[in-house]
Amino acid sequence: MKKENILGDDIGFIELVDSLGNDLTIVNSARVSFGTRSDWKYEEVTDWQDGGKTAITYKRPSGLKKKDKELVKYLGEHKHFSPYRHVYLQFHVKMPETIAREFYKHCIGADYTFKDHAWNEVSSRYRPMNEFHTPQSLRKQHEDNKQASMDECVENYDELMKMHADLLEHSNKVYQAWLDAGVCKEQARYNLLFSFYTEFFWSASLQAVANFIVLRDHPSAAKEIQLYARAMKELAMSVSPEGLTALLENMK
């Protein structure tokens, strides 16, 4: 599953590449304390084949049983977070370097006994960087909050973006000239603007994902990372809706 065009310039995306576990994993990680195990609630489904002549009836999972939903909620309310950490998600993210630096601060992935999560990123030592984020609007600096922006935009967008386009063109020209002159990529990149798109794989537990969403899908976070956090929430909800909801309600 992939959410594309996150910043409106048709470049960035966040994709759920893989996942381990789901709502039932959380339930059974907790139920092992009692030496028990639960299963999905099943619903009976009928498919008609041979042009509607033959009925094939089978059962398919239709979510958690009521008592298991209550258990997932209970665990969140009482901050028994370890069962949620058995659910693991792997994302492929493409975003401007400016926000990737903020993303990188989320360094706890699987379990608090491990310091690091798994993070692998494209290298500007190996590959020339040639995609840049172009803001679709220019928001005003927030009047009360030193780090934030307001929804209101400046009026002279065209004029300011022309200046930006000139700067970008010049920076790319010098970057290319250095490469053409045989300078290594690891030094030529000093000419690049910070708006270049980077991409990385980030694997993290459901709890770490929830922590990211709580902090970044929040008005105090940069607008651009809020958009990624919302897309991540939608993707993570497809894996563990009960688990993520319980975490988000109780981690604030």
Ligand X SMILES: Cc1cc2nc3c(=O)[nH]c(=O)nc-3n(C[C@H](O)[C@H](O)[C@H](O)COP(=O)(O)OP(=O)(O)OC[C@H]3O[C@@H](n4cnc5c(N)ncnc54)[C@H](O)[C@@H]3O)c2cc1C
Strand arrangement of the beta sheet that strand 118-121 belongs to: 2-4, 13-20, 88-96, 197-205, 118-121
The SS3 assignment for 20 reads strand
CA gap 119, 90 in Å, rounded: 10
Applying CB under 6 A, the span of 77-85, 100-108, 131-139, 242-250 interacting with ligand X comes to 100-108
Among 63, 215, 237, 250, binds ligand X (CB under 6 A): 215
Shortest Å, Cβ 200 to ligand X: 15
Shortest Å, Cβ 127 to ligand X: 27
Judge contact between 59 and 43, C-beta under 8 A. Answer: yes
Among 45, 107, 118, 160, binds ligand X (CB under 6 A): 107
**Given the complex with ligand X, which of 14 and 24 has the nearer CB atom?**
14
Structure letter (DSSP) for residue 205: E
Rg (C-alpha) for the chain, rounded Å, is 23
Backbone angles phi, psi at 240, to 5 degrees: -145, 75
Structure letter (DSSP) for residue 34: G
Applying CB under 6 A, the span of 61-69, 156-164, 215-223, 232-240 interacting with ligand X comes to 215-223
Among 17, 108, 122, 237, binds ligand X (CB under 6 A): 108
Is 216 among the residues known to form the active site? Answer: yes
Options 31, 127, 216, 230, the catalytic residue: 216
Footprint of ligand X on this chain (CB under 6 A)? 105-108, 112, 208, 211, 215, 220-221
- Active site (catalytic) residues: 216
